Copies of this chain bind each other. A is one copy, B any other.
Amino acid sequence: MKPDSPFYENTLKTLKQSELFGGLDEAVVQDMLLMFRRQTWLRKSIVMEPEETIREFFVIISGRVKVTRINPDTGKEFILFLMGPGDGFDVIPLLNGKAHNVSFVAMDDLEALTTPFKTIHDWIERHPEFNRAFLPYLGKQIRQISNLAFDLALHDTGTRLIKLFLQHTVQSNPRPRLNLINDLSNEELASMIGSVRVVVSRYLQKLKKEGIIIARRGNLEIKDLHALVEKVEEHLALKDRS
């Protein structure tokens, strides 16, 4: 992407705010930007299939992407995680060159930068300051995925749902905001916690009746954050039959 592109300013701004590039000198980011190509996708379109994961690296500028795998028998989908502006993917094939059995799907109209793996590899080798941002970013991802595995193995569905909310909660006024997941359908929430629509719906009803959340079609809000936290901490976790 060249500096005379109409998207240049906005793209640069996003990169400077990102975890992966935010710590670098602006000149360095500008250098990198020259190597990237801007591309767009429509909402719900597939950005990348498993076989393609070893070719190019993507950095999201606007929109969200879900990383999913589907059980071919049951058709059940599981979302490994959601990514937003500033996130880069797919990091796993970048590390060891083998394809990753996941699909990347745009959840909104999407704008991203792409570049061949080789570019990133060169950067990792030649720019230790990039490595200093890249490794912690990796660490965050592994941590997130392993927490997901633990949750699936150790907690019931109700608890996992609440934890999902808490993970995406950011402080704001007058009430906390649900980052990235505030407009998801019950179906999609379910596939983020390894469950199904009906069950998520049941738990949401309960939380609504208790006045802890507000949920309308495509809009989820947390009304009583404190109560949510308590539910997880005391591990009553919707088990109370009061």
Contacts and interface: CB of A to CB of B under 8 A. Distances in A.
Contact of A95 (B94, B97, B142, B149): B142
Contact of A73 (B93, B148, B235): B235
B143 A146 contact: no
- Chain A interface size range: 35 or more
A158 to B, nearest CB: 13
Interface in A86-120: 91-98, 100, 102
Identical copies in the complex: 2
A71 interface: yes
A131 interface: yes
Majority-rule SS of A interface residues = helix
A145 B149 CA distance: 7
Interface in A147-170: 148-150, 152-155
Contact of A141 (B74, B78, B142): B142
A128 interface: yes
Interface stretch (A43-51, A132-140, A177-185): A132-140
A76 interface: yes
A215 interface: no
A154 B69 contact: yes
A124 interface: yes
A84 interface: no
Contact of A96 (B140, B145, B235): B140
Contacts of A210: none
Contacts of A97: 136
A23 interface: no
A22 interface: no
B92 A142 contact: yes
Given A71-B155, A74-B154, A142-B142, 9 more contacts: A92-B139, A95-B142, A124-B135, A138-B138, A138-B142, A145-B145, A148-B149, A152-B152, A152-B153
Q: Which 5 A-B pairs have the closest CB atoms?
A: A95-B139, A153-B194, A96-B139, A96-B136, A152-B152
